[in-house]
Structure 1
Amino acid sequence: MDQKINVRRIAAHEATHCVEALADVLIDCVEGGASVSFMLPLPRERAQAFWRDVAQSVMRGERALLVAEDSTGRIVGTVQMILAQPDNQPHRADVAKMLVRRELRRRGIARRLMDAVDILARDEGKTVLVLDTVTGSAAARLYEQAGWQRAGDVPKYALMPDGEFCSTTFYYKHL
């Protein structure tokens, strides 16, 4: 079943209204083993607090929040672009928390989100993007297919949600 997916930027005034739906996506991904800064079990309150902080950052103009919505308007994926950078790096942005609900993976949603990141970065005047992900993961393959360049790996950089160490690969993309 191929659903219509709409990718869009969340406006500052609507960011807080997305907290519950974004918490659902985050919890689903962490429960599925995604190493995205959270450990198991991930209490709903912790996920909500994270997204409330993101919403505040969106409202301050420090970051952009993109979502992928299905035909019913349910948020099924998301990615962030951290726009606020040091004074000597106004041309750069960090890409973070690229998440897609497990039951909808391998349908091109993550690729659409990453394509939207490229467009948004250009619109924001950003010419260098950076991100990191678990070494050898499906996300790493996606980024490489989308034209990201591998900068290097750091062994034991982070923990998987179950507490096991994982290596992290850093990527960059010039636009």
Structure 2
Amino acid sequence: MSDNMTIRRVGGNEAAACVEALADVLIDCVEGGASVSFMLPISRETALAFWSKVAQSVALGERALLIAEDGSGDIVGTVQLITAQPENQPHRADVAKMLVHRKARGRGIGHALMREIDRVARAEKKSVLVLDTVTGGDAERLYQRAGWHRVGNVPNYALMPDGAFCGTTFYFKQL
């Protein structure tokens, strides 16, 4: 990752202030074909509503939100750690919405976000992490390089933004 890039955790108030910039990242990723729960065309209102709910969840302590900023302070990546889990799983968290704007890819931002989410998970006393991703997508290589273990995949689990079916592969990591 370049020296002028920073990864940091934001609290609820700051998360709310980042909604516009986070919406830009989400829209870019969906328009670039990322299957991250949204369909084309994705409206700005949809992206803003999603990030507003995330910011509320951060403020309630249900999740951690990390952002990656470039040298000019623009948000170019993000990932979440969902810590609110059922009573019998206090040691577990879900990693969600690992997104890097297309203009910032290839600079190690995804790897840096995943390394930092591990640190945050440990600080939150989480020892088992899980995530899912599009089967065969670029993110699979990133997760495997970051020490994640493939559990298996479910064919036709979700839709790509254009409406085509895609498989989803599930991963876990023990900290």
Both proteins in one fold, TM over 0.5? yes
- What TM-score do you get using the length of structure 2 for normalisation? 0.98
Do structure 1's residue 60 and structure 2's residue 63 form an aligned pair? no
State how far apart, in whole Å, the 1-side matches of 2:160 and 2:4 are.
32
The offset of 1:143, in angstroms, is 0.2
Specify the code of the residue in structure 2 equivalent to 1:93: A
The offset of 1:135, in angstroms, is 0.6
Specify the code of the residue in structure 2 equivalent to 1:42: I
> Secondary structure of 1:116's match?
helix
In the alignment, structure 2 segments of 5+ residues that lack a partner are none
- What TM-score do you get using the length of structure 1 for normalisation? 0.98
Equivalence for 1:14? 14
State how far apart, in whole Å, the 2-side matches of 1:113 and 1:101 are.
13
Specify the code of the residue in structure 1 equivalent to 2:53: D
Equivalence for 1:84? 84
> Secondary structure of 2:172's match?
strand
Specify the code of the residue in structure 2 equivalent to 1:96: A
In the alignment, structure 1 segments of 5+ residues that lack a partner are none
Moved over 3 A (4+): none
Kept after mapping to 2: 8 A contact 1:68/1:109: yes
The offset of 1:13, in angstroms, is 2.0
Do structure 1's residue 173 and structure 2's residue 173 form an aligned pair? yes
> Secondary structure of 1:57's match?
helix
Equivalence for 1:75? 75
Do structure 1's residue 94 and structure 2's residue 123 form an aligned pair? no
> Secondary structure of 2:72's match?
coil
Equivalence for 2:161? 161
The offset of 1:113, in angstroms, is 0.1
> Secondary structure of 2:18's match?
helix
Name the % identity.
68
Q: What is the Cα-based RMSD across aligned positions, in Å?
A: 0.7
State how far apart, in whole Å, the 2-side matches of 1:49 and 1:12 are.
15
State how far apart, in whole Å, the 1-side matches of 2:37 and 2:12 are.
24
Equivalence for 1:138? 138
Equivalence for 1:128? 128
State how far apart, in whole Å, the 1-side matches of 2:164 and 2:36 are.
13
Specify the code of the residue in structure 2 equivalent to 1:64: A
The offset of 1:3, in angstroms, is 6.0
Specify the code of the residue in structure 2 equivalent to 1:116: E
State how far apart, in whole Å, the 1-side matches of 2:168 and 2:3 are.
32
Equivalence for 1:109? 109
Specify the code of the residue in structure 1 equivalent to 2:97: K
State how far apart, in whole Å, the 2-side matches of 1:84 and 1:34 are.
25
> Secondary structure of 1:99's match?
strand
Equivalence for 1:48? 48
Kept after mapping to 1: 8 A contact 2:81/2:94: yes
